[in-house]
Amino acid sequence: MSLRVISLNAWGGRVHEPLMRYLQEADPDVLCLQEVTRSPDAASDWLIYRDGTFELPQRANLYEDVKAILPRHETMFAPVARGTLFEGEREVTSEFGLGTFVRDTLPIIGQGLGFVHAQFSADGWGPHPRSRNAHGIRMFRYDAGSAVTIVQMHGLRDLAGKGDTPARLAQADALAALIEKVWQPGEPLVLCGDLNLLPDSETFAILRSFGLIDLVTTRGFTDTRTSWYPKEGRYADYLLVTPDVKVENFDVVADPEVSDHRALLLEIA
């Protein structure tokens, strides 16, 4: 049996119906979502994120939406901040961060969670570049008779672009430290997420110390964004594996479009 892993920046559930349909049909064993919302006090299913004159519809409780369509998964929500969304003109506090969903037949035997940039912000989204975290899980596969570690990260967003900065290098070091806490050398390791990096970033040189090689760039994919994203700079999302990961299939999913990011789909023997 193969292990199916999906990584996706869910864009706060902006493309909600196609997203729910895709995730339910794909039925991943492990789902790593970035840009996940949770708003316990919301009365509506939809809220608005405002940043100056910019507005973006957000699902009030994307985390709960996904839990409902994947009822056989263990779940964890890891927020980076709590800020304000709007229900009309009513202000609603909302949390924003990572969601990890693991099929309940895969026992979680280790995990690590930590900030890779800044710290939790309880009283607002904060200035850019905003807080970011990473989450790693070590699971045992009964069918393969071994463990596998999967780490996801949402890399910091710098308004100046995706080039290397001291903050991004510090982020890479923090990510490496988290990997070392969760992963057991000699076992398969997968790293995924919206890393917000260019393909030549020094971060990838740091990750090569674990044997991690990116599948997006090495398999000829040149675009991880969808038509919802009209700008230049089409790389954002990456999926890296160690050589002992037996890749049966890997795809940067162009259709359906379920976000302004494409889903990354990995199947491991």
pLDDT in tens, 82-100: 999 999 999 999 999 999 9
- Give the per-residue pLDDT at 52: 86
Its domain, for residue 193, covers 3-268
SS3 11: helix
How far from each other are the two terminal CA atoms of the chain, in whole angstroms? 7
CA distances to 16, 80, 123 from 46, in Å: 10, 20, 21
| Residue the block writes with tokens 């050589």 | 243
Residues 213 and 209: their CA atoms lie apart, in Å, by: 10
- Give the per-residue pLDDT at 162: 96
Amino acid at 236: A
Strand order in the sheet with 263-268: 54-59, 46-51, 73-87, 90-103, 30-38, 3-9, 263-268, 247-253
Name, in order, each residue with C-beta under 8 angstroms of 266's C-beta and a sequence gap of 6 or more: 4, 5, 6, 7, 190, 192, 215, 239, 241, 247, 249, 250
Model confidence at 216, in pLDDT bands (50, 70, 90)? very high
Residues 11 and 260 sit within 8 Å (Cβ to Cβ):
yes
What mean pLDDT do residues 94-115 have? Answer: 98
Residues 8 and 252: their CA atoms lie apart, in Å, by: 10
Q: What is the CATH number of the domain that holds 257?
A: 3.60.10.10
Domain count, the chain: 1
pLDDT in tens, 118-174: 999 999 999 999 999 999 999 999 999 999 999 999 999 999 999 999 999 999 999
- Give the per-residue pLDDT at 54: 92
- Give the per-residue pLDDT at 66: 98
pLDDT in tens, 38-75: 999 999 999 999 988 999 999 999 999 999 999 999 99
- Give the per-residue pLDDT at 6: 99
Average predicted confidence (pLDDT) for the chain: 97
Residues 249 and 230: their CA atoms lie apart, in Å, by: 28
Residues 13 and 178: their CA atoms lie apart, in Å, by: 28
Model confidence at 21, in pLDDT bands (50, 70, 90)? very high
Neighbour count for residue 161 (Cβ, 10 Å)? 10
Give percent of the chain with pLDDT exceeding 90.
99
Amino acid at 58: Q
CA distances to 63, 83, 233 from 97, in Å: 10, 11, 23
